[in-house]
Amino acid sequence: MHKKSPVNVRGVALVSGAHVVDDFYQGVIPALLPFLVSERHYSYAAISGITLAATVLSSVAQPAFGVLADRRSRRWMVPAGLLLAGIGASVAGLMPSYALTWLVVAASGLGVAAFHPEAARSARQAAGNSNTAMSVFALGGNAGYALGSLVTTPVLLWFGVHGTGLLVLPAAVMALILSRTLNHTLDHREEHRARSRLPSGQDDWPAFLTLTTIVVIRSIFFFGITSFIALYFINHFGSTKATAGAALTIFLVTGALGTLLGGWLGDHFSPIVSIRSGFALAIPALAGTLLAGSTPVALVCIAVTGIATYIPFSVFVLLGQNYLPSRIGTASGVTVGLAVSIGGLANPVLGWFADTTSLRMALTVLLVFPALALVVSAFLRMPKPSDDQDLSA
């Protein structure tokens, strides 16, 4: 096992807080979709394109930002990326056409791409080798995504789609805080900085590619649920938009519990146990949601689905970094960025399938993905033990 490195609690808290705000804007997009359908009469395929806009630039750019982080730390990308993510998502409801809406949502995705690799590198500096501490960083993203849904739905119910303009405030405040405090918080004690370490050793590309495959599979599953579960409640149960938004929020909020559970399982057993447990639980949980005969039962099942979907997520970043110890930024850019975001690229296909058949059939198809992830996880192996590498090197 890797040597335990000290945990910079304040550093973990600050970067995790930034993660909350950054991913808040990722949560804004799926909450916005039902309002675009009702107010602008977009088709399922069109709203899948909006999800694509939020992920396509992020998917392409995050590995490049990760490579930049490997060459030299560029912490300015943390506040700058967060601010761009916030501005792009906040002006989406103000755009007069579908094309402009698509473009500003894509710009928000680019901001997300700039934020994540350097933020994950900073989080690892603060967390050392603690799965639990890194799960707090992951939890920040999950909580932000859930808050994006929780806040956006009532704002848009009150103001309509133009209400997105009010959502820029958290990004502006957090970007200012980060620009003033991030470097000091991470490096405030020189002796702590010298002992903040990352793993060293040879890169294990086959294991990393296996992990990346699993992250991509989980991403397709995740984006399919977040894009269509609210609409499923509206169409299948006749729910109001408020209840449908609550279903999405429940999925994301319980996912936060799954994130902490995954980190605990990773520290007490192994990251691979976290990964397999989550996917094994996701299959009956989503099946229960689709078979439920009433809204309350379906809400309980979607809550369990949220827990299951997020259990593996908390260990992806640290495990990927341990597989590529000499390319921490690249590993972060792929596990937190490319592999996660690329699931959105499959959404237009799922949207087309929903238009052709039904939302229920499209969500049923998603059951294949956790089963496939379980099969691929059989090929995972734990990283070889190694000494630690000084982060400041």
- Higher-confidence residue of 206 and 200: namely 206
CATH number at residue 87: 1.20.1250.20
In this predicted structure, the answer to whether residue 238 has a pLDDT above a threshold of 80 is yes
**pLDDT tier at 391, thresholds 50, 70, 90:** very low
**Residue 240 within a domain:** yes
Task: Please report the pLDDT score of residue 207 as a whole number.
Answer: 94
Least confident window among 15-19, 87-91, 92-96, 174-178: 92-96
CA angle 59, 154, 136 (to 5 degrees): 50
Task: Please report the pLDDT score of residue 192 as a whole number.
Answer: 47
Residues spanned by the domain of 130: 9-382
Least confident window among 60-64, 172-176, 331-335: 60-64
Candidates 81, 235, 214, 242; CA nearest to 158 is 242
- Is the alpha carbon torsion for 345, 251, 212, 70 positive or negative? positive
**Residue 101 within a domain:** yes
375-380 LR contacts (CB < 8 Å, sep 24+)? 376/210, 376/213, 376/214, 376/217, 377/214, 377/272, 377/275, 377/276, 377/279, 379/210, 380/207, 380/210, 380/211, 380/214, 380/272, 380/275
Rounded Cα–Cα distance for residues 29 and 51 (Å) = 7
Q: Is this prediction's pTM over 0.85?
A: no
* Per-residue model confidence as pLDDT tens digits over 100-134: 989 999 999 889 888 988 888 888 888 877 778 88
In this predicted structure, the answer to whether residue 26 has a pLDDT above a threshold of 70 is yes
**Residue 389 within a domain:** no
In this predicted structure, the answer to whether residue 390 has a pLDDT above a threshold of 50 is no
Task: Please report the pLDDT score of residue 311 as a whole number.
Answer: 94
User: How many domains is the chain built from?
Assistant: 1
Task: Please report the pLDDT score of residue 274 as a whole number.
Answer: 94
Most confident segment among 32-41, 287-296, 381-390 = 287-296
**How far, in Å, are 317, 318, 319, 352, 373 from residue 128 at the CA level?**
13, 10, 13, 44, 28
**Residue 138 within a domain:** yes
* Per-residue model confidence as pLDDT tens digits over 201-230: 788 999 999 999 999 999 999 989 988 899
Task: Please report the pLDDT score of residue 363 as a whole number.
Answer: 94
Least confident window among 40-49, 201-210, 226-235: 40-49
In this predicted structure, the answer to whether residue 385 has a pLDDT above a threshold of 80 is no
Task: Please report the pLDDT score of residue 392 as a whole number.
Answer: 37
Query: What is the token pair recorded at 310?
Result: 């997020």
**Residue 123 within a domain:** yes
Rounded Cα–Cα distance for residues 352 and 331 (Å) = 32
**Residue 358 within a domain:** yes
Rounded Cα–Cα distance for residues 350 and 338 (Å) = 19
**pLDDT tier at 199, thresholds 50, 70, 90:** low
Rounded Cα–Cα distance for residues 300 and 285 (Å) = 9
Q: What is the mean pLDDT of the chain?
A: 85
Least confident window among 67-76, 269-278, 372-381, 382-391: 382-391
**pLDDT tier at 5, thresholds 50, 70, 90:** low
* Per-residue model confidence as pLDDT tens digits over 329-378: 788 778 876 666 677 678 788 888 988 998 899 999 999 999 999 999 99
**Residue 317 within a domain:** yes
In this predicted structure, the answer to whether residue 68 has a pLDDT above a threshold of 50 is yes
**Residue 388 within a domain:** no
Query: What is the token pair recorded at 290?
Result: 């689709």
Q: Look-up: residue for tokens 């970067």?
A: 15
* Per-residue model confidence as pLDDT tens digits over 242-301: 888 889 889 988 988 898 899 889 888 899 999 999 999 999 999 999 999 899 999 999
Candidates 374, 373, 365, 371; CA nearest to 346 is 365
